[in-house]
Structure 1
Amino acid sequence: MQLSLELELSLLANTTFSVIDFETTGTDPQLDRITEVGVVKVRGGEILQTISCFVKQQRKIPPAITGLTGITNEMLTFAPSEESVVEAIHGVTEDSVIVGHNVSFDLGFLKAAYERVGYELKNTRIDTLALARKLLSGEVPDFKLATLSHYLRLDHQPRHRAFDDALATVDLLHVLIERAGTYGCTHIDELYRLSKIDLASVGSKLGMSTKLPHRPGVYFFKDSDGKVIYIGKSTDLKARVRSYFHSDSRHKTPKMLKQVAAIEAISFKTETEAAVAEVRLI
């Protein structure tokens, strides 16, 4: 998915996230239905809007699901219709990044519900499960929301109810954003692409990119002796430098990154100035 320019340039502190969690009648988005919705819209640590409600459905809740969640068919009797709930979700989340723990599960159900109502799901999405696997590897026995909430001592604990689990996921997101900051993640595009980076091998060097600007310029990779081993230019210094740490098929890149001990840059107002400077410096 291509991130919009607006999101590319958005600081994480200014990014609006809509954290979602659904309880359902089963695991198949085409056959099963959403029974309970939890949505928490946040920006800069502040809760902006919430949705917490049951959803009236014709499909019955299996006993096993009731045993897990405590939600019964009787609880849905006077709940709002799926269409009205979907309209509410769309209204709250339309201008935000959607976040969930194992978000593909929730998005599968949301996409199916959107299609029944006539909406299209276009949001950028962040999966706290994938981020936790990257940022908390080796610290926890597993990456279940309950395990992470207990280990990190989050303010909210999940209990297989949509709104409670969404609140716990909000807490987890904030912890993960803080952890990601140690790897130079300050913008939403950097958080989005973090899953493509092998932190085990290059994570310690990612922090070198933290202070690089999102501006045209020339960058220098230096070894431990201060010798320049590579010079390049870009219209976006920080994005270009960080791209070297993504999964890269070029054979020389991993070898070069092992030698990098420092990253420096000179920024310019225009791409043309950067191109001229690169030619002079090479």
Structure 2
Amino acid sequence: MMLNDITVFDFETTGLDPRTERVIEMAAIRVINGQIVSGFHTLVNPGRPLTPKITEITGITDDMLTDAMDENIAFRILRNIMKDSLLVAHNAAFDLQFLHWAMQRLAGKTFDNPFIDTLTISRERTTYPHKLTDMCSKYGVEMEGAHRALNDVEGCWKLLNALNDQASVLPFVNKLGYLKKYDPPEWVPAYATLFPTQNKYEAREVV
């Protein structure tokens, strides 16, 4: 069963464009048969100053990144943890693109791991909003805080378990939903099934 060997991961970045922006923090946990067997969390030196907006969102400052890990080393460690496991992320389209373009830049290759996007499942099963913090609240998952990679990874893993307890998440392997009012992601794995979706909203009473 694919869920017996997963890697939940998350990136914080200097911006949104995976081709030109850089990862400034990464976290991952490898989970085999429901047990965390390894993990990795590090700040990453992007080689450029952060915008005030990114510092505001993440709490990460330029001073924190001065002696942070080199991205080449960081991504090598991350891939060593992931190996051929099932990758899990919330808004996986974002993190998978950053993983792809970093691997292209650093090693001239990409990955072929299967993946699950908990955001896609969230949009299919629940009403808006679908941020990781919102979904954890809906499913009774405790989360220490958002927009720091390690907190997001632990929250995403617990959310995946809650979603799977509700109904198997395996039908969502390699499926990526994107909001139809926006363009689809510029890059997805060749084996991904990409489909348009839209947010569902709770019905409001008419007074």
Distance 2:176 2:102 in 1: 28
**Segments of 4+ moved more than 6 angstroms:** 193-196
1:86 Cα offset (Å) = 0.6
Answer yes or no: is the 8 Å Cα contact 1:32–1:59 preserved in 2.
no
Q: Which amino acid aligns with 1:169?
A: C
Q: Which amino acid aligns with 2:173?
A: Y
**In structure 2, which of residues 36, 50, 55 is the aligned counterpart of residue 61 of structure 1?**
50
What TM-score, normalized to structure 2?
0.79
Structure 1: which 5+ runs fail to align?
Answer: 1-9, 197-246, 248-282
1:193 Cα offset (Å) = 7.1
Answer yes or no: is the 8 Å Cα contact 2:117–2:176 preserved in 1.
no
Distance 1:152 1:68 in 2: 24
Counterparts in 2 of 1:64 and 1:46: CA distance versus 1, 3 Å: same
Please state if 1:100 is matched with 2:89: yes
Distance 1:68 1:47 in 2: 28
Distance 2:175 2:86 in 1: 16
Match for residue 120 of structure 1? 110
* Pairs within 5 Å for 1:240-255: none
1:195 Cα offset (Å) = 7.6
What TM-score, normalized to structure 1?
0.59
Match for residue 168 of structure 1? 155
Match for residue 140 of structure 2? 153
Q: Report % sequence identity.
A: 32
The structure whose RCO (Cα within 8 Å, separation 6+) is larger is 2
Answer yes or no: is the 8 Å Cα contact 2:117–2:172 preserved in 1.
no
* Pairs within 5 Å for 1:70-81: 70-81=59-70
Root-mean-square deviation over aligned CA pairs: 2.1
Distance 1:193 1:123 in 2: 9
Counterparts in 2 of 1:52 and 1:193: CA distance versus 1, 3 Å: closer
Q: Deviations over 1:103-158 (max 9, x none)?
A: 010111111111122142111111000111223x24xx411111111222213344
Answer yes or no: is the 8 Å Cα contact 2:91–2:118 preserved in 1.
yes
Distance 1:11 1:28 in 2: 30
**In structure 2, which of residues 119, 130, 138 is the aligned counterpart of residue 129 of structure 1?**
119
The count of corresponding residues between Structure 1 and Structure 2 is 177
Distance 2:34 2:103 in 1: 28
1:42 Cα offset (Å) = 1.1
Match for residue 18 of structure 2? 29
Deviates more, 1:153-162 or 1:166-175: 153-162
